[in-house]
C-alpha cells in the first residue's frame, strides 16, 4: 500500500531518517558484517537506510518500494554511490533471484501490506542460508488484532504469535528480539538468522 501525503511527509523528514539509521546501527550489532555482502531493504522509502549502509559498510545493496515517487527520491539521494540501486517493486513479488542477499532489512513496512505473510515468504526466498533478517514493525496484541483484522484488506495485522509461527516454519533462529508495549499495538524488533 502506498503511503498517503501526510505519511510520506513524516517518513521523508530528516529526523525520521536519523531515528531509523540509529535503530539500524543498533540492530546491525547482532549481525556479522563482512566485506562483499549483499543487502536488500524492503520498503526503503527515501533510501536513507540503504544509502547509509552502502556508504558506511561498502556493501552492495538494493532498496525496493512500491511507490515510484519514493524510488525517485531514494535515487536522487544516493548521489554517486555505485554500490546501491533502487527498484520499484511489490514486497510480495520481489524481482530478485533466490538466495541473492546476505542481509534483508524491513523497517515499519509489514503493517502497510495486507498480504504481509507473502512478503515475508519473498524475503525468505531471496535471503541466503546463514543470512540475516533485520525486522522492526508494529505488532498487535491478541485483543486488538481481532478488531484490526476487520481492516485486514488494507493493512497488515501481525501478532507476535504470527511472526513466531512464520520464523519456526521457515528455518529461522532468533538472534535478538525486543517488544515495547504500547496501548493499541506494540513495537517489535528482531534479528533473525536463516538456517
In this structure, what CATH number is given to the domain that contains residue 85?
A: 3.40.50.150
Q: Report the predicted TM-score, pTM, of the whole model to 2 decimal places.
A: 0.91
Q: Is residue 90 part of a domain?
A: yes
Q: Is residue 188 part of a domain?
A: yes
How many domains would you assign to the chain?
1
Give me the domain span that covers residue 101.
Answer: 5-22+35-194
Q: Is residue 171 part of a domain?
A: yes
For residue 57, with 0-12 CB atoms within 10 Å meaning exposed, 13-18 middle and 19 or more buried, which class applies? middle
Q: Is residue 28 part of a domain?
A: no
Q: Is residue 44 part of a domain?
A: yes
Q: Is residue 66 part of a domain?
A: yes
Question: pLDDT 10s per residue in the chain (195 long)?
Answer: 566 676 666 566 787 789 999 999 999 999 999 888 999 999 999 999 999 999 999 999 999 999 999 999 999 999 989 999 999 999 999 999 999 999 999 999 998 898 999 999 999 999 999 999 999 999 988 777 766 666 666 677 788 999 999 999 999 999 999 999 887 889 999 999 999
Amino acid at each position: 500500500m502506498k503511503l498517503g501525503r501526510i505519511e510520506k511527509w513524516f517518513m521523508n523528514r530528516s529526523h525520521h531518517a536519523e531515528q531509523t539509521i540509529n535503530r539500524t546501527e543498533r540492530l546491525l550489532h547482532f549481525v556479522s558484517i563482512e566485506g562483499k555482502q549483499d543487502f536488500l531493504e524492503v520498503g526503503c522509502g527515501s533510501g536513507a537506510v540503504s544509502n547509509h549502509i552502502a556508504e558506511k559498510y561498502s556493501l552492495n545493496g538494493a532498496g525496493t518500494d512500491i511507490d515510484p515517487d519514493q524510488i525517485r527520491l531514494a535515487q536522487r539521494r544516493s548521489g554517486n554511490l555505485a554500490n546501491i540501486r533502487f527498484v520499484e517493486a511489490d514486497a510480495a513479488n520481489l524481482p530478485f533471484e533466490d538466495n541473492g542477499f546476505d542481509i534483508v532489512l524491513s523497517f515499519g513496512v509489514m503493517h502497510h501490506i495486507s498480504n504481509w505473510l507473502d512478503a515475508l515468504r519473498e524475503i525468505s526466498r531471496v535471503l541466503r542460508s546463514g543470512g540475516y533478517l533485520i525486522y522492526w514493525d508494529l505488532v498487535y496484541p491478541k485483543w486488538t488484532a481481532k478488531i484490526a483484522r476487520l481492516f485486514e484488506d488494507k493493512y497488515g495485522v501481525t501478532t507476535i504469535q504470527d511472526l513466531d509461527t512464520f520464523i519456526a516454519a521457515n528455518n529461522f533462529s532468533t538472534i535478538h528480539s525486543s517488544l515495547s508495549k504500547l496501548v493499541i499495538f506494540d513495537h517489535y524488533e528482531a534479528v533473525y538468522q536463516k538456517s
